[in-house]
Amino acid sequence: MTGDQLKEIQNRLAGSSAAMRRKDTAHGDMLDAADGYVTAWLLWQLQGNGEVQALFEGPDADVLSNPAYQEQDIRLD
C-alpha cells in the first residue's frame, strides 16, 4: 500500500483516525510485526483509556517520532 492510498482511505473516514506505514514491512506481514499501537488506539477510542492517549495526542506523540514508521497522520476530532 502506498502513502497516497493510505491517505485516500483516511480521507474517507469520519471522526478521529490514525494512519501510518511501518518501514520495510509489507502489508501482509503486519500481523507478525505488530507493536501495540492498534491495541492502544482501540483502548483509548473505545474504552477512554487515558494512559495510552499520549501515544497519539500532541506534538510529542510517540507515534509521530517512532523511527519504525513513516507517513504518520493523526487526526483527532
Q: What is d(CA 24, CA 11) in angstroms, rounded to the nearest whole number?
A: 24
Task: Give residue-wise pLDDT tens across range 61-73.
Answer: 999 999 999 999 9
Query: Is the separation of the CB atoms in 17 and 10 below 8 Å?
Result: yes
The pLDDT assigned to 31 comes to 73
The pLDDT assigned to 46 comes to 95
Task: Give residue-wise pLDDT tens across range 9-63.
Answer: 999 999 999 988 889 888 788 777 777 898 999 999 999 999 999 999 998 999 9
Query: Is the separation of the CB atoms in 18 and 63 below 8 Å?
Result: yes
The pLDDT assigned to 33 comes to 74
The pLDDT assigned to 32 comes to 76
